Structures are given as structure tokens and as C-alpha cells.
Amino acid sequence: MDMNMKPIKVAAFFDFDRTFIDINSGYLYARFEKANKRINNTQFLQSLLWLGLYHLGIADIDSAYSKALALYKGTSESEVKEITEKFFSRDIVSRAMPGALRTLEYHKRMGHYAVLITNSSPYLSKLALEEWGFDHRISNLYNIDTQGRLTGEFERPLCYGKGKTLRAQKFAETEGILLSESYFYTDSISDLDMMENVGLPFAINPDPKLRRAAKKRKWPILNWKH
């Protein structure tokens, strides 16, 4: 055996919304913010529209995200963290899919690197990492000014579509992970590009478009629902 040969590092990437949990957290968050009167009815309906388009993979996600985040411009990061903590423990923590928890446990036993990869906020994804014990999370990141307030700007590209793949590739390169040996679990056609860039893609409770794509490519289709 070549003693210089490094062991192969494998990752298991998990999408969050409708994959690891059984609902879109963005929808729940918009509802939560409306109930707390931080957004009004129009903004709430607008966010539902964006989320619908997002789910179909046809939204201009960058401009929709800009508009959504602009609502928080000038809000202190610590306040947003606090709001997110409340939201997380009230609405999210109970929504992990049984199949997701089993699969995460399996990968940890196998010594794989468990990675949450999501279009959700840096605050929500960090709480999810801590709650379920992921090794790492890849999410959207927000710009903060010198006073500790959100500027409304964010890191581009968003962790969505091709942007998700790019971030996973960068991460794999840094950590010495082989994507060709790695797993990816997702529900959405918007993640097709990332699925095509890992060795072991799995469609989880997929939307109709992803179901068709997975069947065509003979990718496994699993049901993680309760």
C-alpha cells in the first residue's frame, strides 16, 4: 500500500427546505413575520408569490432575494438572530423528516462529512447545524455594516441553482472532498445542476419535474415523509 495515499473524503449534502424538513421554511418565516407585524399583508403575499416561483425554479431569485432582504436593511444582526431563534424553536425544530434523521445518522456512522446546503439564511442554517449535528453548513451570507446591522446586501451567487453547485465545489476543494464519491439529497428541480455534479444524487419527495428527471437518469427516488 502506498503510504502517501490519503483516504478518500466523502460528503453527504442535504438540502433543507422540503428535504430535511417537510415544509419550506421561507413560507413559515413569512407567516411568522406577518404575525409579528414586521411585514404587512402585501409583503406577505409577495413573498408567497416569490416562494412559489422559486419552487418551480423559474424566479429571478437574485432580485426577489434583494427585495426580501431590503426589508431588513438597518436591522441589527443580533435582533435578526433573536427573531430566528424564536422562529426556529417554535416552527422548525419539530419538522425534521424521519428519513432525513436516519440518513444523517447513517452518514455520520460511515464517517462521512455531513453538510447542510441551503438557500436559507445564515442564522437559520446555523441553528439547524447545531440542532441536528451537521459538520458544516453552506448557506446564503449577509453583509453586515460596522454597526452590526444588515445592509440588505448578500454574497453572490446565492446558494441556489448553479450557485449551490459552485459553493459545494469550492467547499469540496478546500476540504479535499471528492464530489464524485459524495451524496446529495434534494426535493427540487432547482437543484438539478448540483445533482449532476455529485456521484450519488437522491431525489427526496421530489417535485414532479425532478421526479421525471430522476426517472430518466435512473437516480434513486426516496420518500422521507412522516
In the complex, the residues that contact Mg ion under the rule CB under 5 A are: 15, 17-19, 187-188
Q: Which is nearer to Mg ion, 19 or 165 (CB)?
A: 19
- Tell me the closest approach of the beta carbon of residue 191 to Mg ion, in angstroms: 7
Q: CA angle 111-175-6, nearest 5°?
A: 65
> How far is Cα of residue 64 from the mean position of the Cα atoms in its chain?
17
User: Could you give phi then psi for residue 17, rounded to 5 degrees?
Assistant: -65, 125
Q: Minimum Å distance from CB 74 to Mg ion? A: 30
The span from the CA of 37 to the CA of 48, in Å, is 16
Q: Nearest distance from residue 19's CB to Mg ion, in Å?
A: 5
Residue nearest to Mg ion (CB): 17
Minimum CB separation from Mg ion for residue 91, in Å?
16
- Determine contact, residues 176/7, Cβ cutoff 8 Å: no
149 or 202: whose CB is closer to Mg ion? Answer: 202
The CA R_g of the chain, rounded to the nearest whole Å, is 18
Closest to Mg ion by CB, 18 or 126 = 18
SS3 call for 178? coil
Q: Which lies closer to Mg ion via its Cβ, residue 15 or residue 33?
A: 15
